[in-house]
Structure 1
Amino acid sequence: MPRFLSMIRVNENEIPTDEFPEDFNERMGKLLEEITKAGVMLDTAGLLPSSEGTRVTWSGGKLSYTDGPFTETKEVIGGYALMQCKDKAEALEWAKRFLEIHPEEWTVTCEVRQIMEG
């Protein structure tokens, strides 16, 4: 079965860290339990803020390092999920269900990409 990487993109400046809906964690926990029991979820995690990250760039034969936060970037990857699904349609269905748990006033993007095998 193919594997898919789901990357969650957020604007860190627009996500309130202390104003999650009351039942958000419960609903998210139920979805993660369901996707795990279905044998789809291989790994998932949120990421620390970009202020704690570093970008390493290779250009012109030289490396450069840029410490976060990355002010020139509107969206950053805030988390990921590694899933094994029967096809892309199934991966997109799980991504849809994940996004629908978030508050309507948030903008959260989920980029789903199949992993190139062997």
Structure 2
Amino acid sequence: MRFMIIVKATKDSEEGVMPTEKLLAEMASYHEELQKAGMLVDASGLQPSAKGWRIRYQGDKRSVVDGPFAETKELIAGYTLIQAESREEAIEWTRRFPNPTIDGAACEIEVRQLFELEDFAPGEAIERFRELDVCFEKRPQDASTL
């Protein structure tokens, strides 16, 4: 089972304020532990929404809307993808996730389970995804596989 740990954006992250050395060290330690446990799939921080855009759909038409985006609570500042044997194991690891705010303020992270190809009914489209050999259900065995 794969899970995405979603770090929500804050006013600081949207203003481009970089994390402190202390926070970076805590995050590095946590991610090193995940890697040693063979659970780390991917992790990254995101640039502020001012450097991003959204694609707005209206039927077949698409339009580009440039950032920044006003509602910080709807934005994400980073993510970590983990591979766990169970929901309980994922909860155990996410409870250890360092407080992602610069000043240790109250905040929350969100955790969502990713779909696996086996969650969908068999069909031609699912087989096409299998042939892409994307990250579905791949669990790193050691640091050299990342």
Shorter-chain TM-score bucket reads 0.7 to 0.9
The answer to whether the Cα contact below 8 Å between 1:3 and 1:82 also exists between their aligned partners in 2 is yes
Q: Which runs of 4+ in 1 moved over 6 A?
A: none
Q: In 2 relative to 1, CA 80–19 (structure 1 residues): closer, same or farther, beyond 3 Å? A: closer
Asked if residue 49 in structure 1 is aligned to residue 48 in structure 2, the reply is yes
Identity %: 35
CA contact (8 A) 1:99 1:110 kept: no
**Conserved 8 A contact 1:27-1:101:** no
Specify which structure has the higher proportion of strand: 1
Q: Cα offset for 1:89?
A: 2.0
Q: How big is the shift at 1:61?
A: 3.4
CA distance in 2, matches of 1:24, 1:14: 14
| In the alignment, structure 1 residue 66 sits paired with structure 2 residue 48 | no
1:11-33: CA deviations, max 9, x gaps?
2x24582573x532222211111
SS at match of 2:97: helix
Tell me which of the two structures has the higher relative contact order, counting C-alpha pairs closer than 8 angstroms and 6 or more residues apart.
1
> Structure 1: which 5+ residue stretches go unaligned?
none
Q: Quote the residue 1:34 is aligned against.
A: 33
Q: Which has the higher helix share?
A: 2
**Alignment length (residue pairs):** 113
Instruction: Give 1:99 deviation, angstroms.
Output: 3.7
Aligned position for 1:90: 89
TM-score, L = length of structure 2 = 0.67
Check the 8 A contact 2:27/2:98 in 1, yes or no. no
Unaligned runs of 5+ in 2: 118-146
